[in-house]
Amino acid sequence: MLSEIKKNFKRLFFKKEISPNIDIVEEHYLKYDKSNIYRTNTIQNIPRRKYRIGGKKSYAEWAHVIGIFQSLIYLNLTKKENNKILDIGCGTGLLAMSSQNYVNDKGYYLGLDVVKENIDFCNTHYRNPNLKFMHFAVNNAMYSAQQQVKRKKWNVESGSFDMVTALSVWTHFNEEDAIFYLKEVERVLKNGGKAIITFFRLDDVYYDSLKIRKDEKGKFHNTKQNIWIFDKNAYNSENWLYPSHLKVPENAIGITEKGIEILLKTSGLKLVNYYAGNWKEISGLYFQDVLIFEK
């Protein structure tokens, strides 16, 4: 196996084909790497590069993020087995992997996404029958502009989920979507159930960071510091803002503290924990801010 990888790599490197043929190298590398995973079964299904979406491309970064959210899910579940977990904006299934060990035989994970190709991929890639994926045919200006229905309730029973998760999804919602879907989170959670949702929270720590931001890579992340400046109102909303260098607001939307208050008031959820993200140029838990809500 190793000699095959070396042979392929040399051929590609010397012919300067490494970039277009990265998929061939990766195919061998992933086979080799996955046969060396010993302490977990969670990351065995990390997909090929083409399907690693959601702003995270590297195989190692997927493993890193799956692990962070597996820990958060574990710590925020009351019972550790047979849970029902609803994942909004599941993409190509990153959080399905973080969730799989806590749903077991009697529970299930359900991922919803507006992009049908993501759901089709998940339904063929993940073989565990307790991981389910469904297309949610509504509009999002960034991901599904061709879908006409503006927004609608999720087709799931009220009070039926132990947990709702959404990684990098409320960061693509305008004010109306953010409010509407957080009310949905409240509706579908069991009493005492938790929601783990990431945001760009525009609080004092963020506003302080504006004074020190430079046109270079972040202190704790590898994107440019200055691309995360939320300086334009999204569709005239006072509290939902996006970086003015982006064409479509839903590409990245941040929420002021007043906006968070509105979300709490309109949904009736409690904010019970908060992990600031390193996008604010501080040493956070993850890149985006993670907010934990409770019903």
Q: What residues line the site for ligand SAM (CB under 6 A)?
A: 53-55, 88-91, 94-95, 112-115, 118, 136, 138, 140, 143, 167-169, 172
Min separation Cβ 292 and ligand SAM, Å: 17
Min separation Cβ 265 and ligand SAM, Å: 21
170-to-60, 176, 204, 251 alpha-carbon distances in Å: 24, 11, 20, 11
Min separation Cβ 237 and ligand SAM, Å: 17
Exposed/middle/buried for 185, CB within 10 Å: 0-12, 13-18, 19+? buried
Exposed/middle/buried for 145, CB within 10 Å: 0-12, 13-18, 19+? exposed
Task: Answer yes or no: are the C-beta atoms of 274 and 217 closer than 8 Å.
Answer: no
Both tokens of residue 68? 């962070």
Decide whether 100 or 168 has the Cβ nearer to ligand SAM.
Answer: 168
Min separation Cβ 281 and ligand SAM, Å: 21
Decide whether 44 or 78 has the Cβ nearer to ligand SAM.
Answer: 44
Q: Which of 42, 44, 53, 69 is nearest to 121 (CA)?
A: 53
Min separation Cβ 181 and ligand SAM, Å: 6
Decide whether 114 or 185 has the Cβ nearer to ligand SAM.
Answer: 114
- Using the Cα atoms of residue 66, residue 72, residue 75 and residue 80 in order, give the sign of their dihedral: negative
- CA-CA-CA-CA torsion for 202, 263, 70, 122, nearest 10 degrees? -110
Decide whether 239 or 288 has the Cβ nearer to ligand SAM.
Answer: 288
Decide whether 91 or 284 has the Cβ nearer to ligand SAM.
Answer: 91
Min separation Cβ 169 and ligand SAM, Å: 4
Decide whether 167 or 179 has the Cβ nearer to ligand SAM.
Answer: 167
Chain-centroid distance, C-alpha 161: 19
Alpha-carbon distance of 195 to 87, in angstroms, equals: 10
Alpha-carbon distance of 100 to 248, in angstroms, equals: 34
